[in-house]
Amino acid sequence: MLESELSKVWSDFEARPKVEKKKYEDELEAAKVTTVETFKSSIELRDIKVDFASLSYIQEGIDLKEKLKKILLDFNLELLESDNEEEADEGGDREV
């Protein structure tokens, strides 16, 4: 009888760290989910997305100009830039 009680106590002793480890793993997972959700709704992530979108837009323009340079060797791309600047200047003086 004493041997079976000792065996049960030993079994409970061995199982205890597993139960506590599982408890901490669950708490850690919940903290991870909360952290990710908080970051997804943060101003910092919004700013990162805006910066990325802006850089992507600028890079597309640069890539397009490079492709045009390769295709149209005699085409002066400065003409495109000066038209855009003049239109922007003209548009700035109008009242809405």
Q: Compute the distance between CA of residue 15 and CA of residue 48 in angstroms, rounded to an integer.
A: 46
Tally Cβ neighbours within 10 Å of residue 12.
Answer: 10
pLDDT higher than 60, residue 86: no
Tell me the two tokens of residue 75.
Answer: 């085409």
Q: What is the pTM of this model?
A: 0.43
The string of pLDDT tens digits covering residues 12-71 is 778 888 878 888 888 889 988 898 899 889 999 899 999 988 888 888 888 877 887 777
pLDDT higher than 70, residue 9: yes
Q: Where are the domains of the chain?
A: 1-41, 44-96
